[in-house]
A and B are shown apart, each in its own frame.
Chain A
């Protein structure tokens, strides 16, 4: 906002009290229709007669952004969290393109930006006070929401300074605090969303309550890839409470499918009506599709050369010993506990939406994950979003297919409609984390040095799923994520990708492709260590020729696990690490053999490399959660299709980790590095390979397929 427009804005806002919006002019393209991974700075601080409000543009889905963003701003603004109101934004234009949550990016990308926002506002408030008093800004100090002039013992509250401050130029390079003076950052501050979440007061998308609201349940083609041919709603319309039955299109990436929506006065009536529908589906030949056949296809494709991801030296040079392995991972579902849902009221051109989404900015305009208005031909000005707390995202809510579908339902009635997916709908309709298969080849010298390394990924592609015209001969770099980023110094290396056609919608799942590729990569490193007759942890450390971040993390892991000291009989441990766009962690998993021969996962040590830490307790919570999510995917049945239909329906057939299965998780945070790294995802990828490696150490069985085919207690 320019100075002039800020002045006029303040004039307008004057009627409702003094308002100070910090619109930062050094924010480039806050409202511009560009996709940007950088945080766009916009009016995140509002000070008026009602107090101080800090806006959180990174949707809160459990990762702690509600506290983290507020703390980064408040720390520099010199206010405590109990002096402020925190509000989640809803894709409003003024809050810019950074309104989304994913890629462990809130602190990783926003750390300096958010602090600068707070620091700029503080400088302006101090300057306003100094001008009021006719003293130098240097003689004033900001503290606890006030500016103090110690020499004359005068104070002014931020609320009293807001108007004057809002007219000042925004400092381009505000002075940031010395970290040693931090009151909140780096400390385990209690999260202000938690009291709301232990009393049932936190409002999630599914809790939207709009007067006159109807409910809808949608029957979608059970065969993925199929769509509606015709339907007969005669019986459904006879169910008491059913108001209307309509068809509605859902679009996710390049896929589109039409389902049948039963709209009723209660959700229960909608479900009954849905059961009474008679539908003729066009299954388009996908009714013969079986996951087991597709797996065979992926195995066969591994013989192809593929598309090069990265090459170094030559892998064709003769070696003393060649090691070859093939790894397989499956599709999994996200299973956030809050089912997909969206409430929409269409009034003429106006569309009002209540939902849980990771991408508010893409729902109201162009953003990180595309543009819902662009896709649906709606003017962004006509969309109003109310984004609630998110009952679990894990990547699923980066996609707005359920919002598109709900709009298409709501268009056909005058009242607001809440569309709620059943758990079975969420499980069977996708999108899913894609499976990746990996062909691994390693070469050892006579002295057991690793001289060559190859990782070939065979899988369907994210980009192909997302875009109708994706060039399949091109590298989909999301599918080779991380495999060329590991800091092992191996002279000859070749990583490649073989694309496999698929028809099932795919989605980023917490830690994206690293969640499967790390399994192959890091189990294979273990195989090489075993062939070289070296300790698997020391082997990894020795492969770091310089002082890499990975080396620092592995050494810390060695220290906290007492690695040199052997475990008691009947116990074993495995190690793995993973470095990718979101961050870096290394893990050691301790297992033991139960009497019945089953494996018990006892303890998990995690070292996470962060560069800086905003809230250590929250980092621990995130890592604990990531490990348990990884455990779920490593030991429980995956998502499979038979005759075109997903075989799993609910938590009985696609279980997630329960309390009785949860191992102890010990988390060590490292902040020595220069680079700020992410928190939410890096705790996930090393777990499955560390567990596989631990099972090998315990049983001498090398398991190369997820979920791991062994009994667990």
Chain B
């Protein structure tokens, strides 16, 4: 057992855990944020995706001890940037979720995609998002929502002076 400091959604959590414990379980069961989901435990489905310093990671494959207190973790509960809100609004506009279980991970991946590639082509979206499984089959809506979000993010940037 080790004391580990985690910065999640701009809040510092000091937890006592086995450093080998995947970040996923630390987030869900120790810190108590349930929006990040367990799907496969092998990094194959993307349901557990969170952002570490802006980069998408599979939290089920990341030992909690490998993360330093300085690194910033963002989970779906902390998705509050302008871009993330635009993405969530696009998800609602296109009525993306069915069961909804994978959607936290989908939104985390989509955010990372649009941050690194603000105008993704259809192929870019497919390549980037194919690591996230949706068993309900909402892919075409995810694709449309990402395209809408990309458009809205670009449209509003020129008008917006505040970040």
Contacts and interface: CB of A to CB of B under 8 A. Distances in A.
Chain A contact patch, size range: 35 or more
Contact of A628 (B29, B33, B129, B137): B137
Given A269-B18, A625-B137, A659-B143, A209 B34 contact: yes
B97 A198 contact: yes
Interface stretch (A27-35, A279-287, A333-341): A333-341
B138 to A, nearest CB: 7
Interface stretch (B36-44, B51-59, B154-162): B36-44
Contacts of B47: 337
B79 interface: yes
B30 A266 contact: yes
A62 B102 CA distance: 11
B8 interface: no
B107 interface: yes
Interface string A368-395: 0000000000000000000001111110
Contacts of A196: 100
Interface string B114-132: 0000000000011101111
Contact of A203 (B34, B39, B42): B34
Contacts of B137: 624-629, 657, 662
B41 A202 contact: no
B139 A659 contact: yes
Nearest to B92: A194
Interface string B125-157: 111011111111111111100000000000000
Given A199-B76, A266-B25, A651 B42 contact: yes
Contacts of A336: 99, 101, 135
A217 to B, nearest CB: 11
A240 B18 contact: yes
B95 A423 contact: no
A190 B34 contact: no
A390 B22 CA distance: 24
Nearest to A188: B95
Interface in A162-208: 188, 190-191, 193-204, 206-207
B44 A652 contact: yes
B139 A337 contact: no
B42 to A, nearest CB: 5
A262 interface: no
B102 A194 contact: no
Given A391-B101, A392-B136, A394-B135, A267 B34 contact: no
B138 A621 contact: yes
Contacts of B45: 337, 423, 651
A337 B133 contact: yes
Contact of B99 (A188, A338, A662): A338
A448 B103 CA distance: 52
A565 interface: no
Given A199-B35, A266-B29, A338-B37, A625 B21 contact: no
A338 B143 CA distance: 22
Contacts of A627: 137
Contacts of B25: 266-268
A596 interface: no
A267 B18 contact: no
B17 interface: yes
A652 B44 CA distance: 7
Nearest to A626: B137
Interface string B85-120: 000100110011111111110010000000000000
A650 interface: yes
B96 A423 contact: no
Contacts, number: 177
Nearest to A267: B25
A30 B103 CA distance: 36
Contacts of A389: 99-100
B106 to A, nearest CB: 9
Contacts of A61: 99
Nearest to B93: A190
Contacts of B42: 423, 650-652
A422 interface: yes
A69 to B, nearest CB: 16
A660 interface: yes
Nearest to A201: B35
Nearest to B131: A658
Interface in A257-304: 266-269, 272
Given A625-B136, A659-B130, A200 B76 contact: yes
Contacts of B75: 200
Contact of B34 (A200, A420, A424, A657): A200
B95 A198 contact: no
Contact of B95 (A60, A267, A335, A617): A617
Contacts of B127: 660
Contacts of B143: 659
Interface in A598-630: 617-618, 621-622, 624-629
A393 B41 CA distance: 20
Contacts of A63: 98
Contacts of B140: 624, 662, 664-665
B99 to A, nearest CB: 3
Contacts of B33: 200
A624 B96 contact: no
B44 A621 contact: no
Contacts of A660: 126-127, 130
B36 to A, nearest CB: 7
A215 B21 CA distance: 14
Given A659-B130, A665-B140, A392 B101 contact: yes
Contact of B100 (A62, A652, A656): A62
Nearest to A204: B101
A618 B36 CA distance: 25
Contacts of B96: 194, 198
Contacts of B99: 60-62, 336-338, 389-393
B37 A191 contact: no
B92 A190 contact: yes
Contacts of A272: 18
Contacts of A190: 92, 95
B38 to A, nearest CB: 7
Nearest to B101: A391
Contacts of B32: 209
A50 B29 CA distance: 33
Nearest to B125: A659
B29 A215 contact: yes
A197 B103 contact: yes
A664 B122 CA distance: 13
A222 interface: no
Interface of A: 60-64, 188, 190-191, 193-204, 206-207, 209, 215, 240-241, 266-269, 272, 335-339, 389-394, 420, 422-424, 617-618, 621-622, 624-629, 650-652, 656-660, 662, 664-665
Given A63-B98, A198-B103, A618-B95, 20 more contacts: A62-B99, A190-B95, A196-B100, A198-B91, A200-B104, A206-B37, A209-B32, A215-B29, A268-B18, A391-B37, A392-B101, A393-B99, A621-B141, A624-B137, A627-B137, A651-B40, A656-B133, A658-B133, A659-B130, A659-B132
Interface of B: 1, 17-18, 20-22, 25, 29-30, 32-42, 44-45, 47, 75-77, 79, 88, 91-92, 95-104, 107, 125-127, 129-143
29 contacts: A62-B99, A63-B98, A194-B97, A197-B100, A198-B92, A198-B96, A198-B97, A199-B79, A200-B36, A200-B76, A204-B37, A206-B37, A206-B38, A209-B34, A215-B29, A267-B25, A268-B21, A268-B25, A336-B99, A337-B37, A337-B102, A338-B101, A389-B100, A420-B38, A621-B138, A650-B40, A651-B45, A658-B130, A659-B134
4 nearest CB pairs, A to B: A200-B35, A197-B100, A628-B137, A391-B101
